[in-house]
C-alpha cells in the first residue's frame, strides 16, 4: 500500500512541470530557449527575469507585473548586451475578484501618525531585501510552505473595512497558530524581522533574484545570512501584522515583481 501511494505520488508529480507559463498581469512567461546560458540576461516589459534548468532543459522565465496592460510585448534574451533570442508574447487579461475584509484593529487600516512614521521607516529595508540578487541557479519547483486550504488567492482587489487598498500580492494559507512554516525551496535568509503590516516576516532568496516571503509568523526560526533547504522549518504560523486571524501569507517575487505563487506550487492536494 505504502509503495503504491508513493508510486502514485511520484507519478502525479511528474505530470506537472513547474513553474507554469501564464502570460497575464501577475503571471509569468516561461519559454524553453535553445542555447540559453545561465549568464544570459532575460528581459520582458522592462523587467529582469531568470534562467533556470529543469530535467536537463534550460528555460527563460520573466515576471509580468500586475500593472502591465494586456497586449503584445517582446521577450528578449541578451548575451553581453546583444540580442540572442527574441519572441513576441501576448499578455492576456487577468480576472481577479474583489475581496472585502473586516479588520478589528482599525490602526492597521488607517494608521496613526506614529504608525505612518514606522511604515515609512520600514519601506527602505523592505525594498532593499526585495531586490536582493545572488548568482545562484534557483530550483523553482517549490513545495507548499504550510499545510491547509488557500483562503485568499493572489491578485484579489482588496477592500479593508470598506476602503480600497492595494491588491493581494501573495497567497494565504489557512493554518492554525503555531503550525510549521517551511522554506518553499533552497535559499538564503536575506532579512527576518517585525513589520507593521506583515508582522513577523522572513525573506528568502533562491537565486537570480527569485524571492519568497512568509508573513504574519508567530515566531521566526531563522536568522539573516542562514542557508535553508527546501522543506526546512523557518517559522510558525501566527497572526502578527494586519490580519483577520492566523494564516500564512506567502509571496513570490521575481526581479522585485510580485507574481502568483500558485504558478510555482504543485496543485492543492499534492503535498
Ligand atoms: Zn495575504
Nearest to 79 by CA among 115, 37, 46: 37
Q: What percentage of the chain reaches a pLDDT higher than 70? A: 93
CA of 152 to the centre of ligand 1 (A): 7
Quote the ligand 1 centre to 259 CA distance (angstroms). 13
Q: What is the DSSP letter of 256?
A: T
Tell me the C-alpha distance between 62 and 122, whole Å: 28
Phi and psi angles of residue 128, each rounded to the nearest 5 degrees, phi first: -65, -45
Cis peptide upstream of residue 19 (ω within 30 degrees of 0): yes
Is residue 108 within 8 A of residue 199, CB to CB? The reply is no
Protein fold of 2-91 = Immunoglobulin-like (2.60.40)
Ligand 1 centroid–CA 98 distance in Å is 14
Alpha carbon of 248 to ligand 1 centroid (Å): 7
Work out whether strand 98-101 and strand 157-160 pair parallel, antiparallel, or are unpaired. parallel
CA of 86 to the centre of ligand 1 (A): 35
Q: Residue 5's pLDDT band (boundaries 50, 70, 90)?
A: low
Span from the CA of 181 to the centroid of ligand 1 (angstroms)? 15
Q: What is the DSSP letter of 160?
A: E
Angle value at C-alpha 127, between 195 and 93, nearest 5 degrees:
100
CA of 151 to the centre of ligand 1 (A): 9
Q: Is the pLDDT of residue 10 over 50?
A: no
Tens-digit pLDDT profile for residues 109-148: 888 888 899 899 999 999 999 999 998 889 999 999 999 9
Q: 236: which 3 cell numbers?
A: 510558525
Say if strands 210-217 and 199-207 run parallel, antiparallel, or are unpaired: antiparallel
The CATH H-level (homologous superfamily) assignment of domain 98-264 is Glucose Permease (Domain IIA) (2.70.70.10)
DSSP class of residue 186 equals S
pTM as predicted: 0.89
| Selected residue with higher pLDDT from 103 and 189 | 189
pLDDT tens digit sequence for 165-203: 889 999 999 999 999 999 999 999 999 999 998 999 999
Same topology, domains 2-91 and 98-264? Answer is no
DSSP SS3 for 263: helix
User: Any idea where the domains of the chain sit in the sequence?
Assistant: 2-91, 98-264
Amino acid at each position: 500500500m505504502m509503495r503504491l501511494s508513493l508510486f502514485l505520488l511520484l507519478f502525479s508529480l511528474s505530470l506537472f512541470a513547474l513553474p507554469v507559463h501564464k502570460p497575464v498581469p501577475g503571471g509569468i512567461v516561461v519559454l524553453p530557449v535553445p542555447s540559453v546560458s545561465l549568464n544570459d540576461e532575460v528581459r520582458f516589459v522592462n523587467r529582469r527575469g531568470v534562467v533556470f534548468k529543469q530535467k536537463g532543459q534550460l528555460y527563460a522565465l520573466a515576471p509580468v507585473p500586475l500593472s502591465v496592460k494586456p497586449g503584445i510585448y517582446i521577450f528578449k534574451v541578451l548575451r553581453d548586451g546583444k540580442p540572442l533570442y527574441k519572441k513576441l508574447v501576448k499578455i492576456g487579461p487577468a480576472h481577479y475578484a474583489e475581496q472585502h475584509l473586516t479588520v478589528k484593529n482599525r490602526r492597521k487600516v488607517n494608521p496613526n501618525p506614529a504608525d505612518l512614521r514606522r511604515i515609512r521607516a520600514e519601506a527602505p529595508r523592505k525594498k532593499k531585501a526585495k531586490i536582493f540578487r545572488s548568482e545562484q541557479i534557483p530550483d523553482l519547483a517549490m513545495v507548499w510552505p504550510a499545510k491547509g486550504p488557500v483562503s485568499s488567492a493572489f491578485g484579489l482587489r482588496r477592500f479593508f473595512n470598506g476602503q480600497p487598498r492595494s491588491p493581494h500580492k501573495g497567497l494565504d494559507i489557512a493554518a492554525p497558530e503555531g503550525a510549521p512554516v517551511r522554506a518553499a525551496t533552497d535559499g538564503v535568509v536575506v532579512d527576518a524581522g517585525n513589520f507593521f503590516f506583515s508582522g513577523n516576516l522572513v525573506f528568502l532568496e533562491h537565486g537570480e533574484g527569485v524571492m519568497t516571503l512568509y508573513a504574519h509568523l508567530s515566531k521566526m526560526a531563522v536568522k539573516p545570512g542562514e542557508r535553508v533547504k527546501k522543506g526546512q522549518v523557518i517559522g510558525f504560523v501566527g497572526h502578527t501584522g494586519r490580519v483577520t486571524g492566523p494564516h500564512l501569507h506567502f509571496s513570490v517575487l521575481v526581479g522585485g515583481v510580485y507574481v502568483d505563487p500558485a504558478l510555482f506550487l504543485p496543485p492543492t492536494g499534492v503535498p
